[in-house]
Structure 1
Amino acid sequence: MNPVTHPREFLEHLYDVAVRRALPLHNTAAFLPPPPKGRTLVLGAGKAGGAMAQAVEAFWPPDAALDGLVVTRYQHIPPRPPGLKQRIEVVEAAHPVPDAAGLAATERILALTQGLTKDDLVLCLISGGGSALLTLPAAGLTLEDKQRINKALLHSGANIAEMNCVRKHLSRIKGGRLAQACFPARVVTLTISDVPGDDPSIIASGPTVTDATSCADALSILKRYGIDVPGPVADLLQSGALETPKPGDPAFAGHEIHLIATPQQSLDAAAEAARAAGVAAYILSDEMEGESREVGKVHAALARAVANKGQPFQRPCVILSGGETTVTVRPQPPGVARGRGGRAGEFCLGLAQALQGQPSVYALAADTDGIDGVEDNAGAWVEPNTLSRALEKGLKIDAYLDRNDAYAYFAGLGDLVTTGPTFTNVNDFRAVLVL
């Protein structure tokens, strides 16, 4: 594939390689423990949950007992390979805002931990999205409260560690409480990272991992972003009554946690594919955070320096990055609808605005789960003629940025990246090609 003559196809190929590297079927077998003396129970949550469950079924000894329950996002159960027997139940629920189906599934998951013994094994399959899918409100909170708080967090600009600190302390299953409920059984967690730094205690709010954050931290975050909780719940946080299990808790002795796929691995795979095509590849970081539009501007400045000055890299090259940026949703005047779009789209708006039609620069930004925010696209494209084509159609980029409306802007250009669910999730993927 010639990146000069087919830049879109080249960037799409890099994205596909990155996603393929993170698929559970390619990464699970090496981390499975041997069957225990007693029962093997599989529990899990996340956007990769359905694919992870199928991978376990594919590699678990056929004569060894296996059952359990995993919850994933709507439309995120992959097609079942021919001949693969289903032994783990997979149900669907809402993401990123929890719903009643998620609540019912979580109650069932917690109930399945009853009666476990030290001879039993609990295999926990955890991936990004599990914070919303594994929902069990703390005492004094309703599902409606959790939905409101979750929406407020998503719109606030809080980073993923801050959001999940709050979620842990307002839950009866996250922040290590699921593993605590499994005691005295052995717990082995297989996780796919979708967070900067690959901290298992942050992925899906760490349902099987002890938590170093505190109720005081959660209260501070809520205050910082102006998010209200019911008075009795605030009192429980203030008193420490909603504290999570802490490092050193003996109930977690002997537990194992394995990262089976990470953002860095996917970026490395994409870089290798680029070099195989004769294009130099540079990975900035797999831990990028910050406002999506601002991260887009930084990438634009780097691409312009490469294109115009040959520094810090020589062209042709592709600049890769990952991580989890944020979008602070701006309030709109009465009667003006809030825009649509996610982190990848907003990054592309910021990038295109700052590039100002820079020749020979092409970019793709997409979420590796195939869904940018809550829309049906994975992300968007940026090309040298993005702004000029948009102006011809009356699409003024400043106005779309003001209302966080990346989806409409790129849909109007035919430049949405649409893949459908990928059945994995290692977070943001960004590739900027400078020819």
Structure 2
Amino acid sequence: MIKNIVILGIQWGDEGKGKIVDLLSKKSNLVVRYQGGNNAGHTLLVDGEKTILHLIPSCVLYKNVIAVLGNNVVVSLKDLLSEIKLLKNKKIFIKNRLILSHSLSLIFDYHISLDKVREGKNIKQSIGTTNKGIGPVYEDKIARRAIRISDLYDISYFKKLLKKNVDYYNFQLFHFGHKEKVSYKKILDKSIFQFNQVKHMIHDVSDLLNYKIQNQEKIIFEGAQGSLLDIDHGTYPYVSSSNSTIGGVFTGTGIGIKKIDYILGVTKVYSTRVGNGPFPTEVYDDIDNYFSTIGKEFGSTTGRKRRTGWLDLVLLKRMININSLSGLCLTKLDVLDNLEEIKICVKYLNKLTQKEFSYYPSSKKDWENVIPVYKIFRGWKDCTQGLKDFKKLPKNAKKYIDFIKKFTNISIDLISTGPERDQIIFINHDLKNFISNKN
């Protein structure tokens, strides 16, 4: 019986993880976010009403599920409180339903200011970040100067840490960025005020989760971004600043690897990415317009148009192996409904040597010389939106899905056929049982 599930994206993010977390958390006890910050965005559509969350796990739409932010999540208290207020305005109250790790690192104004300076210096070489201060705060963490939320319990200690960091960043902002310095006093006062509103939420998350697992409670671990944005295993340097692959679950929560029962990888049936970096199967023509329009491919955090392309099975297989996936969830199948033909990248061609290969390019030069080699499928030209039975899918849609399954050598356990919560095909009955009853 499945008790604990990891749900992570295996592309460049925006795979539709929010909907899947929302769906599977119906009968869970806790949903735990283990990395990233408010640079992520989950768009949920329930009964026609859209809710966009950036920090708080999607489970908050269910009244009896507890949301947890682990130690490797980086948090802007201002944005966290804004999100709580947004939910409150929707009559969703999270009192006693949100837990913050005492070890999570905080984002301050100086992180955001430096992020903007760096991205604006050279647009052509920019990473394409969301300017939320995520990179700089993770740098602080590695350099051992990050301010953790528990540091604010001791105001005298916090003042010393903050003053040191403000001086450090103001030097960079003024001399490197030629920007206005941030105010130590304003940040101090604001931070203390915000901390007092959330300090009752702070706990030792590692102890809590291990206790809950020991007591057979149902837990979902929710990843932010996608595996191809992992700082170690993604398309470096065009990546996020944390581990969005499976290892981030354990370092970001303090639970052990043996505590996980099932790992679900989420992927679109085509590809998208936001920001700069390699994208072998990217399209620029009418297909790009089609994906953007029909798939509504605009970032929930930034509103930026996403780059679009065909599904890349070379990259997908790599992420399946790295994450040791138990099964796949395919999303946005219905977006392909009106296409005459559909392509899947099955290998690469080096345009200099004209040699085919199926391995992960390891250098900037290798990425620049990649040409995708496609297998072409006939489209099904029929409506799949809202279907809940695999048998009712068009014949060509089944062929497309079966090919993905055989090529990647992994089971397809869920298929999303639309944006609404209930527009889903369950193939794995253990996952269906997971939401049929609570612990």
Please report the TM-score for the alignment, with normalisation by the length of structure 2: 0.27
Flag the structure with more relative contact order, 1 or 2, with Cα contacts below 8 A and sequence separation at least 6. 2
- More strand by percentage: 2
